[in-house]
Structure 1
């Protein structure tokens, strides 16, 4: 049947390109592999003959295939944007992630909101990095590109969407809406047609709009954060590919120089991507800050920590010959943990513990298989003989198949651990090590300790975050720790102390051995300066985070002092150690930035001040499962100034988004000490996609030394708060009574008034003033004056008075023959209110500046290492 309104050509072309990219990746993988294999067979004395005609021919074919794959991915992206931009809701992916009300920038973000789009984004960055390797990789091109191309095969399979022997391989982003199964649940999705009848050819006329982008993601950070973060994910493949190539070609250390710039790039861009997410959370989520130890946040942080550990062990080996085995392990595990974080995010296993996680779409086995394959690749590559490689591959395959077909609790985890152990054993077997023990006074010794601390931190985070995985694999019911945030903080404050001190001291140490006199001479003055600064900050900085007790506060004080030490010592090293040579200063600058990040985190969190303590007397019940405390949230009634910290705060009103049920609240602040006035506009909404309750986006006032950070923690439901009550007229004389549901009203007096001291009232205007006494059932007494104004031309107007405590709205409409006509209504919607949570984040700009400084330092180091590699090649040629 031909369906009216469907444009099938973009989807058909898109699916063809997905298949083409998959096939092209396979061809590129096999061709690059054959190029390496031919070079091995034609080479002599361990030297690979990449220049022989056969190897060159294979490499040429591989390049054509890889470029074909790259062009396919770019075109797929173009097609997806074309479909989203033109609202082609006949395609399930377009309908699910977009709507007609979205701005153009968010239409672009729709592409990577879903699993298929984010996978394509990851694939795109791998392809871009692969093109750079093709141009700059020289003798490492073929082995490294073999690994990259193979990774592209696995990623392309994630979006194939085909069935083999009844098993679905991947999810196709070009599947039609009518083929997705969504229409079976049309009424629940507000799609207007009868699901009991066969699908009609004109069913698309009922699809007026799409399902929309997740409301929490409709922020400019959604446009820039995912691309940067996925570039960070993709970049970890390069250190992994170089390390795996070193094992494969038995060139245990020759890959070090080539991989160092890529490692620096990966650490920098991956770190920026993570912290962009923190900035997004700070500006757009009601975490109450920039980091919440959310499981998906943790899953991104872990591979970065491991990669940082690998970067430092690589530098250790480059200068001293130690820690090559550790470098292999860290680089291999760093990329594997990127896949593990992808599994945690996309499998749906964290759906109940993370606001970031996707729901399960049936890719669990495929994702798990990718992790498994990459783990077992390393021991296969490291094995020296063909028979060993076959045996290891068979062992891995048997364990993998058994894990899939045998319902044995914990067997998949055992298979992974077996692969990791086998990988470590074969790395130790193949990779040589220096037998001599490291001197405790050497730089390499303490750099390794720092790397180990980073790695252990990553393992702790992984174990706690992976409790849902352990529960699933081992059929357990283990709950997370009661105060998991404090557990993370308690551990990582100590980690911060160790890393900050090592960062301060280690650069002043020499490789191999450092004389004590030399260290004291170089480090003495920076230590003294840091001690003075730390003393001043601790003495006058009022760091008083006592929420978790005095013991934890002392840990914070120590960490603050250590962070200041790291900043001062590394800044001083630029002149003391490298004589102001800025080309070589990248490491010191990066360490200064890292110290600033630690200090910014400690100050902004350790001095974080709650401003919104409840002074209104109106308490909101957030529910037993909520983390909100009524006493830390201030309820503001419209137009009524309230005191909050050092501010007078007034809820002035709201405005509604023209196309979405999104309300912006206008909250005016006045600093009582300085008189400064400003307005914040936090917005909030009842999640209209899945009715999960209140969603809020914060609003902040930024200063050089602090931020005032606010978000809506409760508000009246606009649908339930509509005023449907009607006025009823009561004709009463002085002394008469009007009864209402919660008490009665006594007409105390009615008098004429002239020369009214009112705005917009002329001298010749006159008025009738009725004084009412309200007697509530609770025993409370209220008095109100109702005004009926008459101007010189005979025009009459009256004012409404609202008694919010009794839900009454009253108005004087007439006074004639000794009788007053009073209109009154009782309404539960007369109270216009919001509940606000507000913090003061001191010195948070130190954190954001530290991120920038760290990235600058890493990029300086990267360019320096690139130049150093070029200089070394020129020397060899000469």
Structure 2
């Protein structure tokens, strides 16, 4: 019933948006205020219907209505509330709903703040995009045509030919498939909504550009469009940061950017939007670049729709692990992209001859030329990225199964352009605020150049940088930082509201420096013996059994429980055990790795990397493991770590491989449990030795000995000479159940002789007994006999990959400065237009 209501709400919203679009079109043509009011009401009703539908979908998710495919596919009953809520946008259909809602709320803002003659056309084009977006979730069948995929479709509708559906059409699963483990991150709870807010806001400059072409108002449109464009760029930049940080702290590739199509889906529109901001600024200042401003406004939104097509149509399913599966939206997304592009380019061509022409060419050393050139560099970077992202599609013209380009393709093409852009930001800022010739510009740039060169030389010496290409990159970063910093200080004394552009460019310089330092100068943390082994490999001195030289270096560190190792001559690293937790991911292990500075200077810290089985991709005879890294952050460097293997993981893999039962999963004993003396001779008895604070694994259990406890003398005979109990924790590793035992060891006098008394203690609920049999006075170690357990004592170990990444914090700092610069500009332009209106 709820699903039916949800579908009806979407159907009515779809129809209402069509009528609203017609109303805005007629209003734009006839200037009838009554049509405008009616269209606004229709637009508002459409938004209210989508809000109601979203509320119903969230209700189904929170109440575990697994008969609905969306709920079944993206949730499970054990999900925490925060991840149940984030499942609303965790799937393709739900994410379209969030995108629609963001566009709706922005439309309300446009109704209030957009003046004639733009408001009618702007709202018409916004509603046109809403029609396409709502069609993606309509789920309407028209003959053989399927329009969209409804988030309210049931399992029976999604899989009508499944045997269990044919046997029982009303079948309701008892459990859902659950949310992707990689999405169980607080960062992914906020990243998608911010991203869709950016997508929605980037629609607005497109709509204003279309309105300008429609109404032949080619100059004034940039004033109301500028704050929206800046806001869209801030939202997209925030989403890029959140996605990058999520990748850094969640994925094991050790970075924050991998040039994946989903990453590029937000980055390319941001680049084109930033290019458009530059040309819009020139248009406001000099009444030039009208064509370029309109073109970039069109391209920025076309890029969003195109990247949406690439990532949601299934066309890149074999090229991107982040690509959505195909829901049958290929043709709709293709039509969406075609209409948006055709309308934009078509209207531009139609009005092209009427667009203002520049009477004379701009001088090379002019703010108009330099700002436009900067915009073109940003466009070229975006163009390179789109070519790389589209290469699996383009490659099909030449081969059957083309592969996506390597990361090096993007780095090699974008790095020179980024260097050029860095130099141009400084020259552009000095030309923007003051008309200059070559001599005056050289004079103004003297100190920024000198300081930048000194800082580059210092970086080269301190960082041991010898790569000439990297040195040029570093010089560009310092020049962007110092040069724009000079200009920002000047603007602060003149008018602090004008620092937005310079502050943004300072952030760009900081970002460049952070990217190079954090990605090109990582250092792996290894002990001395492993480093010597790697040096021997590099020298060709290591061969395998067949005499072939070994080329693969070791990049991991092996640690045994409570046996510290010194790495890089800097840290003493100790593995202190692991714990099992099932709160977010069943079978998740959290490892405890302690770092202590060797020289005693600096802070001691502990990292807790995690390993967990990917249940969705594991099988009865194979476990697919995934990792969750941990990071210790300082301004100078990060210690980045993940687990590459462990004794526990190896043990579980062997159990699954051999298809043998887990010996640790013993059933609770009955009331007629036997004592060790009554057990058969076949019962295994293991002897283990533990010192204070030590742990040992055996037969699926972990034994932790913390300390001694004095025994109660009242419970012992008067002849007792010494009595002590051991504080012992016995942990069932598969379930994490911890039982605390205090076995007794006593020495007493009888008949003139010394006797020991060590009664066995039963582990609650299990056929297992522990006896405290002796103490070594010289070492303080205790001896335990464990009855009823299989398996030999095992060394507990872990393999970790740990890297020291310099100045990752500088990357985040540069991003924040960029956000701050855009935000300052937003408030300045918004305030100026408000006062003007």
Please give the TM-score of this superposition, normalised by the length of structure 2: 0.80
Distance 1:616 1:485, change over 3 A: same
Partner SS for 1:568: helix
Is 1:839 equivalent to 2:763 in the alignment? no
Among 597, 603, 613, the alignment partner of 1:671 is 597
Per the alignment, do residues 511 and 104 of structure 1 end up closer, same or farther by CA in structure 2, a change over 3 Å counting? same
Which residue is equivalent to 2:829?
Answer: 865
- Structure 1 counterpart of 2:627: 696
What RMSD over aligned residues (CA atoms) do the two structures have, in Å? 3.4
Deviation string for 1:478-513 (max 9, x for gaps)? 3344xx222322223222211111112211114895
1:235 to partner: Cα distance: 1.0
CA displacement at 1:179 relative to structure 2: 2.3
Distance 1:759 1:829, change over 3 A: closer
Distance 2:127 2:793 in 1: 62
Distance change in 2, residues 1:608/1:686 (3 Å): same
Q: Select 1:184's aligned residue among 143, 147, 162.
A: 162
> Does structure 2 retain, via aligned residues, the 8 Å contact 1:320–1:511?
no
What stretches of structure 1 of length at least 5 have no aligned partner? 1-7, 40-54, 186-194, 383-424, 544-549, 620-627, 732-757, 768-787, 800-810, 815-820, 874-878
- CA–CA separation in structure 1 for the residues paired with 2:504 and 2:384: 25
Note closer, same or farther for the CA distance 1:347–1:718 as it changes in structure 2 (3 Å cut). Answer: farther
Identify which of 41, 55, 60 aligns with 1:64.
41
> Matched residue pairs, number?
719
Aligned to 2:489: 575
Any idea what SS the aligned residue of 2:430 has? Answer: coil
Shift in Å, 1:516? 2.8
Q: How many angstroms apart in 2 are the aligned matches of 1:118 and 1:471?
A: 30
Alignment correspondent of 1:497: 419
1:451 equivalent to 2:375? Answer yes
- Report the CA distance shift for 1:117/1:822 in structure 2 as closer, same or farther (over 3 A): closer
Name the counterpart of 2:6: 14
1:612–1:836 Cα contact (<8 Å) kept: no
CA contact (8 A) 1:613 1:631 kept: no
The answer to whether the 8 Å contact 2:637/2:807 transfers is yes
Task: Report SS of the residue matched to 2:653.
Answer: coil
Of 300, 321, 338, the residue aligned with 1:355 is: 321
Alignment of 1:99-498 (within 5 A): 99-139=76-116, 140-181=118-159, 184=162, 195=164, 198-199=167-168, 203-204=171-172, 207-382=173-348, 425-426=349-350, 428-472=352-396, 476-481=400-405, 484-498=406-420
What is the rounded CA distance, in whole Å, between the counterparts of 2:566 and 2:160 in structure 1? 51
- Counterpart-to-counterpart distance in 2, 1:469 and 1:103: 39
| 1:534 positional shift | 2.7
Which residue matches 1:82? 59
Q: Quick one: distance in 2 between partners of 1:559 and 1:828? A: 57
SS in 2 for 1:688: coil
For residues 380-415 of structure 1, give each alpha carbon's deviation from its aligned partner in whole angstroms, at most 9, with x where no partner exists.
434xxxxxxxxxxxxxxxxxxxxxxxxxxxxxxxxx
Question: Quick one: distance in 1 between partners of 2:129 and 2:524?
Answer: 48
CA distance in 1, matches of 2:654, 2:721: 41
1:684-741 CA distances to partner (integer Å, 9 max, x unpaired)?
212111238322111111113211111123342563355649997899xxxxxxxxxx
**Which one of the candidate residues 696, 711, 720 is aligned to 2:653?**
720
Question: Which residue in the other structure is 1:687 paired with?
Answer: 614
- The reply on whether 1:515 has 2:437 as its aligned counterpart is yes
| Regions of 4+ moved over 6 Å | 616-619, 725-731, 758-767, 811-814, 821-826
In 1, the alpha carbon distance for the partners of 2:219 and 2:376 equals 21
* 1:479 match: secondary structure: coil
SS in 2 for 1:367: helix
- The answer on 1:594 being equivalent to 2:520 is no
Q: Is 1:705 the equivalent of 2:636? A: yes
- How far has the Cα of 1:812 moved from its partner? 12
In structure 2, the partner of 1:608 is 522
Are the aligned partners of 2:250 and 2:628 in contact in 1 as well (CA < 8 Å)? yes
> 1:408-462: CA deviations, max 9, x gaps?
xxxxxxxxxxxxxxxxx55643423214221011122122221111111111111
Q: Please tell me whether the aligned partners of residues 442 and 511 of structure 1 are also in contact (alpha carbons under 8 angstroms).
A: no
Alpha carbons of 1:196 and 1:226: their partners in 2 closer, same or farther (altered >3 Å)?
closer
Matches within 5 A, 1:752-771: none
CA contact (8 A) 2:684 2:789 kept: no
Aligned equivalents of 1:373 and 1:90: distance in 2? 36
Alpha-carbon distance change, 328 to 121 in structure 1, aligned in 2, over 3 angstroms: same
> What's the offset of the Cα at 1:280?
0.8
**Cα contact 2:396–2:402 (8 A) shared by 1:** no
Q: Confirm whether residue 35 of structure 1 aligns to residue 21 of structure 2.
A: no
Report the secondary structure of 2:502's partner residue: helix
**Residues in 2 aligned to 1:828 and 1:477: alpha-carbon distance in whole angstroms:** 51
Partner Cα distance (2:793, 2:308) in 1: 46
Indicate the residue corresponding to 2:558 in structure 1.
Answer: 635
Deviation at 1:226, TM superposition (A): 0.7
2:461 is paired with a residue whose SS is helix
CA distance in 1, matches of 2:448, 2:611: 49
Instruction: Give 1:630 deviation, angstroms.
Output: 6.0
44, 50, 73: which is aligned to 2:50?
A: 73
Change in 2 beyond 3 A, CA 1:798/1:378: same
Question: Does structure 2 retain, via aligned residues, the 8 Å contact 1:708–1:840?
Answer: yes
Q: 1:319 to 1:671 in 2, by over 3 A?
A: same
CA distance in 1, matches of 2:138, 2:398: 31
Work out the CA distance in 1 between the residues paired with 2:399 and 2:38. 49
2:730 — aligned with what? none
Question: For residue 397 of structure 1, what is the aligned residue in structure 2?
Answer: none
